[in-house]
Amino acid sequence: MRSCCISLLGSTGSIGRQSLEVIQACGMKVGALTANSNVARMEEQARQFQPKLAVMMDEQAAADLKVRLADTPVRVAGGLEGLLEAAELPQADTVITAVVGMVGLRPTMAAIREGKRIALANKETLVCAGQLVTEEARDFGAKILPVDSEHSALFQSLQGCKDRGEVKRLILTCSGGPFFGKTRKELEGMTREDALQHPNWSMGAKITVDSATLMNKGLEFIEAMHLYQMPPEKISIVVHRESIIHSLVEYCDNAMIAQMGTPDMRLPIQYALTWPERVVGPATPLDLCSCGPLTFAQPDTEAFQCLALALAAAKTGGTAGAILNGANEAAVALFLEGKIGFLDIADRVRRAMEQVKVIQDPSMTQVLEADAAAREAVLSA
Ligand code: NDP
Ligand code: MG
């Protein structure tokens, strides 16, 4: 069933803004919008899309927004309570989770318990608590549809596959980021500005840094394990600089089915909202004759140690994902504040993974404790 009314968590961000373009182009309604502190952009969006509810995580920003929207029928709420209310909004059949970081976990769980369709961009949620989230979705009959381009490509390449036993391997493509081909030595001096230059995609700051360290691909590896119930040995990563093939499924007969397109997030966002239908939308078409040769290479886990750490966490399971993610969020924040160097990100994540004990089959409380302990380990290093 195609989405009609959407609750959009993280509407002022990169995915959030592109989601609104898709929603508008496809004639869908907006039930709720949420952001952290960008009041000016939220006011603009609320005036244009007239949601029932507009939420600012930051309470001061919520108070400010309330004044700005006093002449409209839009209700304003603040804090985590507001975010949860947006996730549970009765009018919305679909929730797009486009907030950044594991702050998305509780609202995602709340939306799942209401049986909503989840268009999931917020990969950190699955990395931290993939097992709990997917079990809850199964129990409450909530469908999770991927927004991440690689996972959408896998989802599209799996359409028509009735028996997952036929799948030999999921292959995630990786652009290689702005530092592709650099040695560890060369990576040492890379600055915030260098890391924020992504060759193919324009995204929020945190995921752009994750793409530069290749942690993003590691997080996506764990995301794929949970979304498609695949063991780590049945997932591989290939560097594909052009970002034209968004990922592939290799079947037991050695057929490979891939999804191709321009690097435009509006297509995976739209498919998550319209599946199982396809409709005309705003994504840019691909001109095959001008996209040049397509290349493939092995990722360099020696230079890009964040990827090696994530693959180790994927194998360990349990709270290892929450520890990896919490440590990475804290370390990337320090890097963006100019407090640590580029290679320190991996060093701090490694230290947290060594210090914090992994628990298998964790409860939600144990996931949250693992996340907090990992952040603490990074900050006290
Ligand atoms: P942005 O940083 O551009 O946007 C993040 C959004 O979340 C903003 O609306 C922001 O509000 C809000 N936000 C930030 N912090 C909090 C908080 N503590 N509580 C509540 N809301 C908060 O991120 P992206 O759009 O790039 O990424 C969003 C998610 O999608 C991430 O999980 C990312 O990994 C994933 N993703 C992104 C892709 C992309 O192309 N950008 C591709 C695939 C996945 P405000 O503006 O007020 O700060
Ligand atoms: Mg991706």
Conformational region of residue 280, where left means phi above 0, alpha means psi within -120 to 50, and beta covers everything else: beta
What digits encode the pLDDT tens for the residues 215-273? 999 999 999 999 999 999 999 999 999 999 999 999 999 999 999 999 999 999 999 99
Question: Which residue's CA is minimally distant from atom 22 of ligand 1?
Answer: 36
For residue 114, pLDDT beyond 90: yes
Nearest residue to 83 via CA among 7, 160, 148 = 7
pTM for this predicted structure: 0.98
In ligand 1, which atom is closest to the CA atom of 208? Answer: 26
Ligand 1 closest atom vs CA 61: 47
Pocket test for ligand 1, best of 8, 65, 85, 100 (most atoms within 8 A of CB): 100
Q: Which atom of ligand 1 is nearest to the CA of 210?
A: 34
Can you say whether the dihedral through the CA atoms of 321, 324, 330, 332 is positive or negative?
Answer: negative
Ligand 2 midpoint to CA 200 (Å): 11
State how far the Cα of 93 lies from the Cα of 103, in Å rounded to an integer.
21
**Tens-place pLDDT, residues 310-360:** 999 999 999 999 999 999 999 999 999 999 999 999 999 999 999 999 999
pLDDT of residue 94: 98
Structural domains of the chain in order of their starting residue, each with its CATH number: 5-146 (3.40.50.720), 152-313 (no CATH), 317-381 (1.10.1740.10)
| Helices marked H in the chain | 14-25, 39-49, 59-68, 79-88, 105-113, 123-140, 149-158, 184-187, 192-195, 205-213, 215-228, 266-274, 305-316, 320-336, 342-355, 364-379
Q: Pick from 13, 6, 5, 4: which is nearest to 265 by CA? A: 13
Structure confidence by residue, pLDDT tens digits, 164-211 = 999 999 999 999 999 999 999 999 999 999 999 877 878 999 999 999
Pocket test for ligand 1, best of 15, 149, 202 (most atoms within 8 A of CB): 15
- State residue 381's pLDDT score: 84
Which ligand has an atom closest to residue 207 CA? Answer: 1
Question: pLDDT at position 181, please?
Answer: 96
User: What tokens does 214 get?
Assistant: 């290749």
Supply the residue whose CA is at minimum distance from atom 39 of ligand 1: 203
pLDDT value of position 2: 82
The best mutation among 56, 85, 99, 172 to test binding of ligand 1, ranked by most ligand atoms within 8 Å of the C-beta, falls on: 99
Q: Residue 11 CA: which ligand 1 atom is closest?
A: 9
- 48-105 pLDDT, tens digit per residue, is 999 999 999 999 999 999 999 999 999 999 999 999 999 999 999 999 999 999 999 9
Q: How far is the CA of 90 from the centre of ligand 1 (A)?
A: 24
> 4, 5, 6, 26: which is closest to 283 by C-alpha?
26
Neighbour tally for 358: CB within 10 Å: 16
Ligand 1 first shell, C-beta below 6 A:
10-16, 35-38, 57, 98-100, 103, 121-124, 148, 201, 203-204, 207, 265
Residue with tokens 């709990």: 132
CA of 366 to the centre of ligand 2 (A): 27
Q: Whose CA is nearest to atom 31 of ligand 1?
A: 100
Distance 72 CA to ligand 1 centre (A): 26
Please tell me the predicted confidence (pLDDT) of residue 3.
81
Exposed e or buried b for every residue in 178-207, given b needs 16+ CB within 10 A?
Answer: bbbebeeeebeebeeeebeebebbebbbbb
